[in-house]
Amino acid sequence: MNDVPWIDWYQSLAKPSWTPAPRTIGLIWQILYPVIIATFGYVFVQAARGRLPLLVALPFAINLVANLIFGLQPSSNRCRPYCDRRRLRAWLFLARAHCGP
């Protein structure tokens, strides 16, 4: 039995045979996060430089704010401190890569 309730709930769900293994999902997110960071950074920098209309950056900004609000909500997830450190590193990387040293 697991101490994290959502894992028990997820394991109890009827899933199709093509459901990827948890390791696969982790790998996919490790690939997606850098792509997302680069895309967001590119759009914001281009909009700030006037090369893209601000309306193009608006959906990105809304998504970013929504994710920040969601990420600030309390969670019983045991990996929360680890996840927060990863999120902070991603933010620092984005700021340094696009705002200079």
- Could you tell me the residue ranges of all domains in the chain? 22-99
Separation between Cα atoms, residue 5 and residue 13, nearest integer Å: 13
The answer to whether the predicted template modeling score (pTM) of the entire model surpasses 0.85 is no
Give the CA dihedral 45, 48, 49, 54, nearest 10 degrees. Answer: 110
DSSP code for 14: -
Separation between Cα atoms, residue 69 and residue 96, nearest integer Å: 23
pLDDT tens-place string over residues 25-71: 888 888 988 898 899 999 999 999 999 999 999 998 888 888 777 76
pLDDT tens-place string over residues 66-87: 877 776 665 555 455 556 666 6
User: Can you say whether the dihedral through the CA atoms of 15, 17, 20, 3 is positive or negative?
Assistant: positive
